[in-house]
Each structure stands twice: as C-alpha cells, then as structure tokens.
Structure 1
C-alpha cells in the first residue's frame, strides 16, 4: 500500500524539522534530507498538530497523485477538514490525481491567542502590491518565503538578501512588520522527478500547477499561530473567467485554514490590468514613488527586457503611469523589440501569459495611443493570434527526453542519473510566479 509517514517532529527556537518515511514506490519523490523550515519568531509553544501543517501541505498533493495514504501523530482538526476540501478541488482540477486518506492518532482543537493581525504573502509584484493597497488599513505583516523561486542553496543567498532588503524597505516606508520564512520544501521534495512524471499533464511545473497554493499557505501556519494572525492573504494570479489548472485558485486557497487563521485568495474579481489600475490610483493619491518588482531574470530590480518586464511596463502605460517612474526602463523603441520577441517565440509562454496579453489587448482597444510607436504595437496586438504565440513556445526536446527517461528509470538507476538530470533541468524555466 502506498504511504507517507510523518515522524520525528522537532522544534528549536524558530526552526521546525521532521523526517518522512515512504513506501518503496514513493521513495523517488522524496529526498533523503529531513524537511526543515526556519521562522523569525519562536514556534516552541505551537502545538504539534499545527507544526505538522507545513510538511503535510507539501506531501499531501504528492500522495494524492499516487493514491497514497498519509500518517501523522497529531493534526489540527480545522486543517484536517480543510485538506479534505483542497483534495477534492485538486482532484477535480487534475485528472491524474487519485486522492488518498489522512490518518492521525489525535486531532486537536487549540484556542490560540489572537491579536487581530493579518498577513500578506508579498513579493512586491503587481498582484501582491495590489493586495497590499486593498488591505492597507489592516497594516498586514508582509510575509516572504524562500524555498520556491529563491532556493535555499547558498547560490541564491544574494537573491534572498536582495528580496529581504526590498521588502524590508517597503515595510519601513509603509509602517509595516515583516515575516521571513526559509524552507527546503522543494529540495526536500524531488522536484525534478515530480516534473519527470507530471509535467506532461500540466501547463507549468508541479508546484505552480498543483502544489503552491496549499504549500505556501501551509508553510505559514506555525508563524501565523505564534503571531496571532486571524487572516492570511495570498494574491490571485488569474481572475474570474479564467479556468486554468493552477495550484493557487479560490477553490483551493479559500479552503485553507487552521486554528485561529483563515486564508484568502485576494483580488480574484480583478483582471491584472484592473489590479494595475488599483495601484495607479494609489500611486496618484498616496505613493508617487512606488516601484514594482516583477522581473523574470533579476531580483534586485527589473531588467526591462524579459517578457514580464515588458508586459508590466505596457500595463503601467495603459494605467496612465510612466514605467520608468516605477522601476522599468522603457521607451517607445521597446515596442518594436517586444513585438519581435513575441513573434520569434523568444520566451516560454503558457496559457496564463496568453490570457494576460489578451487582457492588455482588451484594454488597448479602449485606449487612445499616446505615441505612434504605441499605436503601431497596439494595432499589431489587436490582430495577433495569441494562441500561436503560446504554441510556438515550449521546452526543448532534450528536456522532454530526459523527463521520460527519469520517469521510467528504476530508483537505483535514477539515483545515479540524478546529478546529470539536475544540471540539465537548470536551463529550463519551469516555474512562473508573481504574474
């Protein structure tokens, strides 16, 4: 019987660690390293049933993909009920998920101290900045997580330091607190093997398409419990009317909760361009020097030339702001380069980017172009076949072959191949975030 067993849960100040045992058939999806997460607040007084939430939030989707059961000593009753709802949503969303059963020796219903606080997962991108603007009266704690797009590897130390500096600066400017979480959740999971098995079923990667709504929110549980947070917000990537198979959606995030805390999928009723409108109104009224950070290639600023930088810059112009005033080097000459890159298929684009460029096109059809270069680009975009722009982008054949090989290899062979596979997959951009 396929199974995952959570055991040896320990805390030391703000550090959580536990080991996981699996049945033989699931060994390839879990590394030999223990699961570790470090918080900047003590979690010593957090009940074990809440401490188990971060690890359960990572391994349960893996179990559901394999029809496996999960065993844990203690679980918060509210979260156990939430998992049932999330499981149903993800299984309805993805045909390859089979589901499974969670078994716990004890369920608990703790009554945490609440201090009427809220938290917001924050990167400084369009979506999370819009959510800050919408909830700024609550003075939410800005929560930043290391472990997904910024890995726990020492090679990413500079990126993490840059993000912390930027978020801390934003928090200081706006009178907010911060919370920083560092975890090995994606190196603890064998993400290359998950990609090898399931990339063929999803538009993005495993974590983006399946795991990250439950995974990122669940990772916050001990911190939220210790801080007394009633509400935890995660900004929507997509919006009403877009039915994509994505790991963070209202029918996932809105179910996630535990003792004392409810999670919220925020601003789903707004398109990305409408979120930029919210930001633009806030900029004009209160914060004229606000800068956004959305770059695909840099964490310490915006390169101005990746797809996301171009997309955000065009959106800012349509919202009535000058991109160069808000972190994006952009001029009329960039419209020509942007069009060429889109036509050549220079970027790996998915269905979410197709919808976002469609959103820009809808707004551009209502707008009066400010310059001839802008008018030329919008005329081209009006006639462009966005489905073709997406379909011409995709992972190289070599990566698809490597995935197939890893998927079918016995564990002993896979373990020997793993270093080569890890090196090869490093060139593949398999996650897209902070849309």
Structure 2
C-alpha cells in the first residue's frame, strides 16, 4: 500500500524541521532532504498539530496523486477537516488525482468560537510580492492594516544564487510596509527541493497547463506554510490574491474552492478579488495611486526582482494594462515607449515566450477593455497594436509557444525510468527544466 509517514516536527528557535518517509514506490517524488521552514518569530509556543501543517500542505497533494495514505503523530482538527475539503476540490478538478486518507494518533481540539467583538478586532495577513494581484488585495484590505507575508522557496528558491533576489524582495516589501506602518513576516522553506519537483513535473506535466506546484499544489502549499506564523501572531484572516477570475475555467492550484477551504485553529484563509479581472485590479490600483500613492511602483517581472526588465511578456502585459487604466507605465516601474508596441507584437507572433492558457485569458481581458472603452490611442503605434490585437488568434499564439520537443522527450524518459537510472540523470534533467519553471510560475 502506498503511504507517506510524516515525523513529528522538531523546533530550533524560529526554524522547524520534519523528516518524511515515503513507501518505496513513492521515493522518486522525494529527495530525502528533511522539510525545513524558517520564520522570523520563535516557534516554541506553537503546538505540534499546527507545526506539522506546512509539511502536510506539501506532502498531501503528492499522496493524492498516487492514492496514498498519510500518517502523522498529531494534527490540528480544523486543518484535518480542511484537507478533506481541499482534497475533494482538487480531485474534482484533476482526473489523475486518486485521493487518500490522513491518519493521526492525536487530533487537537476544535476551533474556538469567536464572538462579534473579537471578530471586529481580528488581525489579518496577506501574501504579498508587490505585483498586480497582491497590491490590489492590499488596496482592498488596507483598512485592516494586514501583515505582509513574503515566502522564499517558490519563485525565489533557496539556492544561494537566488540570495540577491530574496534581498531585493525583502527590501521592497519592507519599504512598502514601513511607508504604511505595517508589519511584515518573511518565511523561508526548502519545500520545493525536499519534494522532487522535477520528477513530479515529469509524471504530471502531461495533465496540467503549468507546473506541478502552480497547477496543483500552490494554494494549499503557500497558505499551509503560513500556519505557524499565523498562530504565533494570532492572525484570524489570511488572504491570498487571486490570479484568475470568475469565468476562467482553468485547472489551477489556487482557486476559491481550494483556498477558501484552507483553515486551522484560529485562522481562516481567503482567496481574494476573484470577482475582479486583472484589468479591474489595475483599475483599483489606479484609484489608490490617485488618492494615496502617486509614486507606487509594481514588481511583476518574470526575469528580475530588482525592478522590471520591460522586455518579458509579463512586463509588456502589465505596461499595456497600466495604460488602459490611465496610468503611465514609466511612472510605476516599467520602461515603456511607443516602439515597444511593435516589439511586443513581434514577440507574440514569433512565439518567443512560453505561454499558457492563463496568458490567453489575460490578453483577452485587455482586448475586451479596448473594445468596451472609447479611449483614444495615444499614438499611431498603440493604435496599430490594438487593431492587431482585435483580430489576433490568441489560441494560436499560446499553442505555438511552449517547451521544445527535447524537453518533452526528456520528461517522458524521466517518467518511465527506474529510480536508480532517474537518480543518475537527475542533475541534467533539473538543470534543463529550471528555466521553464521560472518563466511559467507567477502571473
């Protein structure tokens, strides 16, 4: 029987560590590295049933993909029920997920009741990067003065080569928070190296539009990492900004029917701003810029963390969206001039970027905004671009981009290789896949 055993976490100051023992048939999905998560507050007073949540949030989707059961010493009762609800949502979304059971020796007490007076004074937190989605969520909830939470271990890895990127993100979030008298929380984890993400991708990429984590694991995974932090800081509400919006039917790992089900004793998670399209989120930001933050800069680049390159698809898309919301991109972090419209069109037509269905929806959102407004283009170049976008076959632009055939062949080989053969080939496979992984994650 396929199974995964999660040992009791050990705590040293503000860091927790946890060993995971998969059954032999599942070992290829793990690197044998213990799961580690570091916070910026001590964890000694956090109960074991909460401490284990970050690890369960990463491990359980892998178990569900293989019909495996998970065994743990202790778990928070509220989170155990949440896992059942998240499993049901993910299994309904992905046909290849088989499900599984969670078995615990001890289940901690039920979630305490909260009266109206306590609820009115509730503390909140928000996963924050400074991009369009999380900035919009801050704007929507700024009256709550949410703690801004940033995580290293997803798009910014624990590799020393990413140290500078993490410094840039911390500095930017710290400055944003200081200007608004907000608290920050910084979390660092090796979750994506304790899991063998390359092998997960090799096995399951054929079923998903993005990567394993983006298409399956990241809503539960990112929120679960926050559990000890939220408990230590008595956070009642934890927000994660929506990537997509109502009407988009994509198999994505962060959606209302996943994130809104994530909870543990004392904390309820929320998938935020799902009712707004990306362009409408930019509208909300534009209103905030006009009323409170004229010098606000966004950070959305796919290739840099110390500003925006202005040349990747996401930078171009954000700059165009800012224009449509009445903001000048150069005033908010994006080098952009009229000649860039031609460069953008050429890059899209030539398939220079790896695009997924979510990018198609986002360009459709931009096209709809152009159609529904009577805004005059600011230049002939802008007019030409929007005229082209009006008739462009966005489905073709997405289908003609994508990973090279060599990547797909290697993925199939890894999927079918015996574990010893795969382990020998792993370094080359990991190096090959890293570039695509970094481009496709995040919106």
Query: TM class by shorter-chain length?
Result: over 0.9
| Residue in structure 1 matched with residue 77 of structure 2 by the alignment | 77
In the superposition, relative to structure 1, how do residues 76 and 225 fare at CA in structure 2: closer, same or farther (>3 Å)? Answer: same
| Residue in structure 2 matched with residue 144 of structure 1 by the alignment | 150
Secondary structure of 1:43's partner? coil
| Residue in structure 1 matched with residue 277 of structure 2 by the alignment | 271
Q: Number of aligned residue pairs: give it.
A: 435
Alignment of 1:9-408 (within 5 A): 9-109=9-109, 116-365=122-371, 366=373, 367-408=375-416
In the superposition, relative to structure 1, how do residues 3 and 158 fare at CA in structure 2: closer, same or farther (>3 Å)? Answer: same
**What displacement does 1:371 show?**
1.8
Residue 428 in 1 paired to residue 440 in 2? no
Matches of 2:3 and 2:165, distance apart in 1: 36
Deviations 1:51-100 (A, max 9, x none): 11000000000000000000001010000000000000000000000000
**What displacement does 1:434 show?**
4.0
Matches of 2:421 and 2:379, distance apart in 1: 59
**What displacement does 1:423 show?**
1.8
Name whichever of 358-367 and 368-377 sits farther off: 368-377
Deviations 1:15-53 (A, max 9, x none): 010101110000000111100000001111111001110
Residue 412 in 1 paired to residue 413 in 2? no
**Structure 2: any 5+ residue segments left out of the alignment?**
none
Matches of 2:107 and 2:294, distance apart in 1: 50
Cα pair 2:8 2:48 within 8 Å, conserved: no
Deviations 1:270-298 (A, max 9, x none): 00000000000000111000000000010
Secondary structure of 1:36's partner? strand
In the superposition, relative to structure 1, how do residues 382 and 316 fare at CA in structure 2: closer, same or farther (>3 Å)? Answer: same
Matches of 2:134 and 2:8, distance apart in 1: 35
Secondary structure of 1:81's partner? helix
Cα pair 1:205 1:431 within 8 Å, conserved: no
Cα pair 1:208 1:431 within 8 Å, conserved: no
Secondary structure of 1:428's partner? helix
TM-score w.r.t. structure 2 length?
0.96
**Structure 1: any 5+ residue segments left out of the alignment?**
none
Residue 5 in 1 paired to residue 2 in 2? no
Cα pair 1:64 1:87 within 8 Å, conserved: yes
Cα pair 2:219 2:253 within 8 Å, conserved: yes
Matches of 2:430 and 2:93, distance apart in 1: 29
TM-score w.r.t. structure 1 length?
0.98
Secondary structure of 1:71's partner? strand
Cα pair 2:279 2:365 within 8 Å, conserved: yes
Matches of 2:294 and 2:387, distance apart in 1: 31
Matches of 2:123 and 2:206, distance apart in 1: 41
**What displacement does 1:238 show?**
0.1
Secondary structure of 2:360's partner? helix
Matches of 1:323 and 1:423, distance apart in 2: 34
Matches of 2:6 and 2:437, distance apart in 1: 31
Deviations 1:117-170 (A, max 9, x none): 110000000000000000000000000000010001111100100100110010
**What displacement does 1:110 show?**
6.4
Secondary structure of 2:19's partner? strand
Cα pair 1:65 1:96 within 8 Å, conserved: yes
